[in-house]
Amino acid sequence: MKKICIAFLFSIILSSFNSANAQSLSLEETKKLLCSHKWFLRRLEQDGKMFTVPKEFQGQRRVFDPNGTVYEYLPGEKEADATRVKYTITKTKLIIKEDEGETVYKYRLVDFIGYKLYLTAEDDEDKLTLVFEQREKMEYVKSEEVDDTKYITAVSIGNQVWMQKNLNVDRFRNGDQIPQATSAEEWKTAREEKISAWCYVDFEEGNAGKYGKLYNWYCVMDKRGLAPAGWHIPSQEEAKTLVNATGGGSAAADALRSRAGWKDNSRGTNRSGFNAYGAGKIWLDGSFLEKDFSAYFSTTTKGTVDAEGKFQIHYFLMQQGSGTVYNNHLTFPGVGLSVRCVKD
């Protein structure tokens, strides 16, 4: 069992094929597959026998990024606290380095069949089969201000690809810092001066993992770009397409909402994979409303401008009480809402 655990802890996870030999893939193809999804371990096989994943490792997620870092963590653990080790890969070998490169685990890539990757340690004749499922699709973006790569989880819904989490960036695409509001007074000042601003829900950083950040419309429409490269904030029409693709009305609300984290914990099925949480909103005066009750998402569509130049903005909304997605509501540009991006 120890041998199985070690192989599991430092194993490679790749996509499903109908039947393809690893050596027939180019290095770029192999690496692309490795980094294309977040992965979830299902079971182990060895010498023709199936083994249950050891209890302490059940449900482990594994994420490989193109820069050569692999992140591993268990359900209930934060991704930010994931164990990080380095890896290198060739057409036929995977090498994992631990403790600043002091310990090296070498594996030979043998074969892909279905969801299975056959992987053999170079100093071991036994074959261990690791059976994985694809989870969220990974989209990697290059950070402008530092030389690193960050990943985004995404899901295909109809003919669109959406982020699965609320936006959680504090810089524009060009690397400029976005002003943070840490109090109601700072939020009101941003509204009065019509400048970009974001805040944490309840001004508490610990809420970022679940809810992301809330952004005012000046931030959403800033020419420096709030959305990462390759993504954009949806228009009202694109939001309508999302709602229609998930059944419209109450069907869409059920399909888009997360299964837990709402006050009623009853309607959400997350059948779509959109995984909407009720972050609520921050109002003009800096007060927070409807957390775990409503999910408000900004669009880029502006309402009619009146004679004084005043206008409101369109957003789409789901609430637990109604069970319906509202796609044609208006609010003020100084209100802070969640942001979900759609692929270009």
Please check whether residues 302 and 330 belong to one and the same domain: yes
Exposed (0-12), middle (13-18) or buried (19+): which is 143, by Cβ within 10 Å?
middle
Look up the domain containing 154 and give its range: 143-343
Q: What is residue 151's three-state secondary structure?
A: strand
pLDDT (0 to 100) of residue 117: 59
pLDDT (0 to 100) of residue 6: 38
Please check whether residues 186 and 113 belong to one and the same domain: no
Of 116, 136, 156, the one marking the end of a domain is 136
Of 136, 166, 199, the one marking the end of a domain is 136
Judge whether residue 14 has pLDDT over 60.
Answer: no
Q: What is the mean pLDDT of residues 55-59?
A: 75
Give the pLDDT band of residue 85 (cuts 50, 70, 90). Answer: confident
pLDDT (0 to 100) of residue 310: 53
Q: What is the mean pLDDT of residues 193-216?
A: 92
CATH of the domain at 109: 2.40.128
Please check whether residues 162 and 260 belong to one and the same domain: yes
Please check whether residues 69 and 159 belong to one and the same domain: no
Which has more pLDDT, 5 or 213?
Answer: 213
Please check whether residues 336 and 243 belong to one and the same domain: yes
Give the model confidence (pLDDT) of 99-144 as tens digits: 665 667 777 655 554 455 556 666 555 666 767 776 666 666 655 4
Please check whether residues 14 and 119 belong to one and the same domain: yes
Instruction: Encode 236-259: b = buried (16+ Cβ within 10 Å), e = exposed.
Output: bebbbbbbebbbeeebbbbbbbbe
User: What is the radius of gyration, based on Cα positions, of the chain?
Assistant: 23
Query: What proportion of the chain, given as a percentage, has pLDDT over 70?
Result: 69
Residue 181 tokens read as: 């509001």
Which has more pLDDT, 275 or 318?
Answer: 275
Please check whether residues 198 and 294 belong to one and the same domain: yes
Q: Is 197 within 8 Å of 219 (Cβ atoms)?
A: yes
Please check whether residues 160 and 212 belong to one and the same domain: yes
Q: Is 4 within 8 Å of 54 (Cβ atoms)?
A: yes
Judge whether residue 178 has pLDDT over 90.
Answer: yes
pLDDT (0 to 100) of residue 7: 40
Residue 110: partners with Cβ closer than 8 Å, 6 or more residues away = 22, 118, 119, 120, 127
Angle in degrees, CA 156, 162, 167, rounded to 5: 155
Please check whether residues 64 and 116 belong to one and the same domain: yes
Please check whether residues 118 and 182 belong to one and the same domain: no
Which has more pLDDT, 241 or 25?
Answer: 241
Average pLDDT, the chain: 76
Q: Which position has the token pair 């309840």?
A: 202
Exposed (0-12), middle (13-18) or buried (19+): which is 190, by Cβ within 10 Å?
buried
Please check whether residues 147 and 105 belong to one and the same domain: no
Give the model confidence (pLDDT) of 65-81 as tens digits: 877 888 888 877 776 67
Q: What is residue 206's three-state secondary structure?
A: helix
State the total domains in the chain.
Answer: 2
> How far apart, in Å, are the Cα atoms of 336 and each of 84, 125, 296, 308, 318?
34, 59, 9, 23, 16
Query: What proportion of the chain, given as a percentage, has pLDDT over 90?
Result: 18
Please check whether residues 320 and 189 belong to one and the same domain: yes
Distance, CA of 81 to CA of 275 (rounded, Å): 22
Q: Which residues pair with 141 in a beta bridge?
A: 150
pLDDT (0 to 100) of residue 187: 95
Q: What is the mean pLDDT of residues 10-30?
A: 50
Q: Is 144 within 8 Å of 174 (Cβ atoms)?
A: yes
- Look up residue 337 and give its DSSP letter: B
Residue 293 tokens read as: 């009750």
Q: What is the mean pLDDT of residues 257-268?
A: 74
Of 136, 155, 173, the one marking the end of a domain is 136
Give the model confidence (pLDDT) of 213-243 as tens digits: 999 999 998 999 999 888 999 988 898 898 8
pLDDT (0 to 100) of residue 311: 53
Give the largest Cα separation in the chain, rounded: 79
